[in-house]
Structure 1
Amino acid sequence: MNELHQELKAFIIETMNLEDVTPADIGDDTPLFADDGLGLDSIDALELVLALKKKYGIVIEANDEGSRQHLRSVNSLAMLVSAQREA
């Protein structure tokens, strides 16, 4: 899954326009939305969800409590993408 992790890191950087961040700067378990992680906010979450739908065909419901868990880190996103590919 390491290739998928790298792909997702590059995807996040491109989608969020993180100019000073490289894939090496993002740990697999780094929180995407915490201040001690990438520090993304709720608007970023919406952009990321739309981009995931466009690129991977993944639909994440806003009212789904599991949505926060899916967007927690690169690892959680990788599990979601992998599950979608297997389905």
Structure 2
Amino acid sequence: MIDEVKDFIIKSLNLSDIRVSDIDTDAPLFNDGLGLDSVDALELGLAISKQYGITLDSKNENLKEIFANVRNLSEFIKENKK
């Protein structure tokens, strides 16, 4: 599931210069890690909704934790996909 999510991030955000193996599973997705920004977060949230049928609510208190790294995002998707 982790490699699937890495590939999903790359494809959803058109990160053509990044490979699955380039993404550290536990590194932050934002800022110093993968370097994603708030626009990327919105795009990724929409893509997750379309692909996995999961609605991400911006009022969810755990949103920062869910998007902290690939491992957390993978676990969230695995537990909530329809």
The two structures have a TM-score, normalised by structure 2, of 0.92
| 22, 36, 59: which one aligns with 2:19 | 22
Given residue 14 of structure 1, which amino acid in structure 2 is its aligned partner? Answer: K
Runs of 4+ that moved beyond 2 A: none
Q: What is the identity percentage for the equivalent residue pairs of Structure 1 and Structure 2?
A: 43
CA-CA distance at 1:27 after TM superposition:
1.0
Structure 1 portions without partners, runs of 5+: none
Structure 2 portions without partners, runs of 5+: none
Number of residue pairs the alignment of both structures matches? 82
RMSD (Å) for aligned C-alpha atoms: 1.2
The two structures have a TM-score, normalised by structure 1, of 0.87
In 2: Cα distance, 1:51 partner to 1:73 partner? 17
CA-CA distance at 1:22 after TM superposition:
0.2
| 60, 64, 69: which one aligns with 1:73 | 69
Given residue 48 of structure 2, which amino acid in structure 1 is its aligned partner? Answer: L
